[in-house]
Amino acid sequence: MDLDLARELAQESDTKIVLFVMDGLGGLPHPETGRTELETAYTPHLDMLARESACGFTLPVGPGITPGSGPGHLALFGYDPLRFNIGRGVLEAVGIDFDLQPADVAARGNFCTVDASGRITDRRAGRIRSEDSARLVAGLRDISVDGAQAFVEPVREHRFVLVLRPDGRASARGKGLSDAVADTDPQKEGVEALPPKATAAEGEATAALVAKWLEGARKYLSDKSPANMALLRGFAKRPDWPSMAEVFKLRPAAVAHYPMYRGLAKLVGMEALPAGPSLEDSVATLRENWGRFDYFFVHYKYTDTAGEDGDFDRKVAKFEEADTVIEPLLELEPDVLMIAGDHSTPALMAAHSWHPVPFMLRSRWMRADECGMFSETELRRGSLGTFPAKDVLPLAMAHAGRFKKYGA
Amino acid sequence: MDLDLARELAQESDTKIVLFVMDGLGGLPHPETGRTELETAYTPHLDMLARESACGFTLPVGPGITPGSGPGHLALFGYDPLRFNIGRGVLEAVGIDFDLQPADVAARGNFCTVDASGRITDRRAGRIRSEDSARLVAGLRDISVDGAQAFVEPVREHRFVLVLRPDGRASARGKGLSDAVADTDPQKEGVEALPPKATAAEGEATAALVAKWLEGARKYLSDKSPANMALLRGFAKRPDWPSMAEVFKLRPAAVAHYPMYRGLAKLVGMEALPAGPSLEDSVATLRENWGRFDYFFVHYKYTDTAGEDGDFDRKVAKFEEADTVIEPLLELEPDVLMIAGDHSTPALMAAHSWHPVPFMLRSRWMRADECGMFSETELRRGSLGTFPAKDVLPLAMAHAGRFKKYGA
């Protein structure tokens, strides 16, 4: 749904919406049993809910499109992921809870190896250990460039984030930073790193500044190991999007343990509540904050992690764990309870995939589809069919009595 | 479908299309039986038709969007309700069969009460009786303003329509009226009515004229009861849309008893045939005019009325009544017969809703879905799935042999 239309239709109400996201929810059948991870798991509460809910599948971005975590979640939050893009640098910064300011420019960094002539020999320096990375990052923090403050933060393995923030003097002269800077990562080996070229006139000052920073990085890293050079890509500024409060008249909160998901939620204006790693922690956070908000995004990461690791059995076990959250969620008596995923992560593929994602919605105002269980096979009978994930929030808004009639 | 594409594909034919609209068709299950209104009703002819038809659900405007009567019908007529908007004033005028001219500006009026200082105390004057309203309207007709003829027509309860038509002299000077005038209804009580401000330069002359009319209305109403003031909103001109004849090469007719639906049909160029209140009347009108037209929109209002009244049993009875029209419709041997609704009106909600609407299409050229009956549950098996209501007419055109091939 177009956000302008949503803004026109949204009205306040005292109803409550809960979106429980099992990351990487969808799967593929095990070759021996013919049953997916979800179908193999014993999930009596999810199955009971399926019999009482409107069911279907979400298409996170579009047919055949495998989404990253960003697009997968933005769609569930009501933001068309094809229109609302997050630059790679911002996603990385957000993923480590870096407090990105509107004037900042962030880039994703890779430690890599180059030979004596400067040609890249390994773009990821053999995926060096996070400890090695952290040590190199500490050194990079000493590089100073004129006109900006440079923050360097380790991410994991060979990855880091570079954030440039205009310094007081630059700001005083009205000179902001621009993200119109091309990647220095050539995305292949055997060639030299690219210079950070401006992709538009307004990027030239920033490109020069990045070039100076890279010169410092090259000097510092040249005699280091296991990496001796750094590549930058995905220069981006924090997007300035209309918030969920503004568009949907909701007071939205995120209950997520991982920084990436808290960060994504903050980009659309949710308040990120502190949440520990377990489902008990999530439920406790929900209970404590139940009165303060009317939309809750609850994130469960481990189904995706198991899927990414190609561990079918662990993904099954994680579904069985997730099943225990259903009763406590129902006890809160939300007006709308939705069970969804940001994308599929079939253990058989050990990766995100494009497959439509199981979805169900329970509210007083719906036709229950009486699907026998919460599974890829049974949900095919659901009345919601396969629909764009960006329609999840509009559906919830309707079922929560939060949308006015369109036209007379 | 885009109307330009429809225009390109449409071709003439001697086939006939009938669209039977049961207003507010979709429902929700009764908490005691788990069956919707449609599922509770004994409708042997509709059920027989379901076994011989292509079945599915229409989405009138979009997921989660509750449509008014205007958007719900426009979509069924092939006009994207998000692109083709009808102003409130026009909808009201059309709803009482007022013969709106292209140069007219119409506004919806409310009789209200104000206190001694002019602050609104009740925006609807306690929903005064239609008789009281009619008496006040008669007085308002005496107000004359320079440059336009002012028509005032009662609607129902506290509502009326004001239509301004440029007079001969104004027209001769080439001075038309504009609908760029803001509402005077502040949509809340305890404040004064707003002045009719121009929302663009071209609205200034009309705004001044409206202000003069309102001054007359204020004077006349000041010592009256049960209302002593009037509010205006939704200034609008009759939209100038491409007609169904022009776009779809159809000779379309509406068989509708209620003025609102006749009016909506006329906005897309249908001829509104006289039709009495009963289904027998509708069938008689159809028979008499069968040779003159090739597209018939037949409107049945009472399912919606019962739903809006929250009367589950009466809605059931109205479906059973509607079922009797199927045999006479089939006897006319239309090439395409469609059973549809403009939106859902679950008796449980006593209001329009966003739920997808049962739909079936019967023609010689289709795959029958063998749904067991015409019901929200059975239709889930239908091959049409849940699709935008604006695609109903393109589907009918195809099944009637009225669309050419696209591309070579």
| A1 and B CB contact within 8 Å | yes
Which site among B69, B260, B354, B357 would you substitute to test the A interface, given the most A Cβ atoms closer than 10 Å to its Cβ? B354
The verdict on whether omega for the bond into residue A277 sits within 30 degrees of 0, i.e. cis, is no
Residues of chain B under the 50 pLDDT cut: none
Comparing CB atoms, the residue among A382, A403, A407 nearest residue B70 is: A407
Per-residue DSSP letters for A355-397? S-EEEEEEESSS-----SSSSTTGGGG-TTEEEEGGGHHHHHH
Are the CB atoms for A37 and A315 separated by under 8 Å?
yes
| A5 and B CB contact within 8 Å | yes
Nearest residue to A74 (alpha-carbon basis) of A86, A65, A63? A86
pLDDT at B295: 98
pLDDT at B170: 64
Mean pLDDT across the stretch A171-199? 89
3-state secondary structure of A289: helix
Q: Which residues of A touch B91 (CB under 8 A)?
A: 408
- φ, ψ of residue B11 in degrees (nearest 5): -140, 155
Q: Which residues of A touch B67 (CB under 8 A)?
A: 405-407
Q: Which residues of B touch A9 (CB under 8 A)?
A: 65
Beta strands in B6-128 (DSSP E): 17-22, 54-59, 105-114, 120-122
Q: Which residues of A touch B62 (CB under 8 A)?
A: 1, 5, 391, 394
What span, in angstroms and rounded, lies between the C-alpha atoms of B382 and B27?
18
Residue for token digits 């049409």? B384
pLDDT at A391: 97
Partner-chain contact A398 B66, CB within 8 Å: yes
Q: Among residues 49-68 of chain B, which lie with CB inside 8 Å of chain A?
A: 57, 61-68
User: Would you place residue A171 in the very low, low, confident or very high pLDDT band (cuts 50, 70, 90)?
Assistant: low
Question: A15: distance to nearest CA of chain B, Å?
Answer: 16
What span, in angstroms and rounded, lies between the C-alpha atoms of A170 and A150?
13
Are the CB atoms for A248 and A17 separated by under 8 Å?
no
Partner-chain contact B376 A387, CB within 8 Å: no
pLDDT at A167: 87
- pLDDT tens digits for A90-110? 988 988 889 899 999 999 999
A18 DSSP β-pair partners: A296, A337
- φ, ψ of residue B306 in degrees (nearest 5): -60, -40
Closest chain B CA to residue A391 = B63
- pLDDT tens digits for A130-147? 899 999 999 999 999 998
**Angle at which helices B69-76 and B259-267 cross, to 10°:** 50
Beta strands in B171-304 (DSSP E): 229-236, 252-255, 271-273, 295-300
Q: Give the torsion sign (CA, B35, B41, B44, B46).
A: negative
Comparing CB atoms, the residue among A394, A404, A407 nearest residue B63 is: A394
| A395 and B CB contact within 8 Å | yes
Q: Which residues of A touch B107 (CB under 8 A)?
A: none
Question: B187: distance to nearest CA of chain A, Å?
Answer: 14
Residue for token digits 């309102």? B214
pLDDT at B71: 96
Partner-chain contact B385 A381, CB within 8 Å: no
What totals of helices (H) and strands (E) does chain A contain, helices first?
A: 15, 13
- pLDDT tens digits for B293-331? 999 999 999 999 999 999 999 999 999 999 999 999 999
What span, in angstroms and rounded, lies between the C-alpha atoms of B95 and A408?
11
| B48 and A CB contact within 8 Å | no
- pLDDT tens digits for A212-271? 999 999 999 999 999 999 999 999 999 999 999 999 999 999 999 988 899 899 999 999
pLDDT at A95: 83
Nearest residue to A2 (alpha-carbon basis) of A267, A266, A391, A295? A391
Question: B237: distance to nearest CA of chain A, Å?
Answer: 16
A113 DSSP β-pair partners: A122
Comparing CB atoms, the residue among A381, A395, A405 nearest residue B63 is: A395
What span, in angstroms and rounded, lies between the C-alpha atoms of B131 and B135?
6
Are the CB atoms for B239 and B86 separated by under 8 Å?
yes
Closest chain B CA to residue A402 = B64
Residue for token digits 């995923």? A341
Mean pLDDT across the stretch A366-374? 90
Nearest residue to B346 (alpha-carbon basis) of B109, B26, B23? B26
Eight-class DSSP state of B133: H
Residue A172 has pLDDT above 60, yes or no: no
Q: What is the ipTM of this complex?
A: 0.87
Question: A264: distance to nearest CA of chain B, Å?
Answer: 24
Joined tokens for residue B114: 């104000």
Question: A41: distance to nearest CA of chain B, Å?
Answer: 27
Question: A359: distance to nearest CA of chain B, Å?
Answer: 15
pLDDT at A260: 87
Joined tokens for residue A355: 């497959």
Q: A326: part of which helix (H) or strand (E)?
A: helix A326-331
B192 DSSP β-pair partners: B119
Q: Among residues 319-378 of chain A, which lie with CB inside 8 Å of chain B?
A: 365-369
Mean pLDDT across the stretch A382-404? 96
Partner-chain contact A367 B91, CB within 8 Å: no
pLDDT at B384: 94
Question: A48: distance to nearest CA of chain B, Å?
Answer: 16
Are the CB atoms for A78 and A393 separated by under 8 Å?
yes
Q: Which residues of B touch A366 (CB under 8 A)?
A: 28, 355
Alpha helices in A35-87 (DSSP H): 37-40, 44-51, 69-76
Comparing CB atoms, the residue among B57, B65, B81 nearest residue A9 is: B65
Q: Which residues of A touch B36 (CB under 8 A)?
A: 367
Comparing CB atoms, the residue among A381, A387, A399 nearest residue B380 is: A381
The verdict on whether omega for the bond into residue B358 sits within 30 degrees of 0, i.e. cis, is no
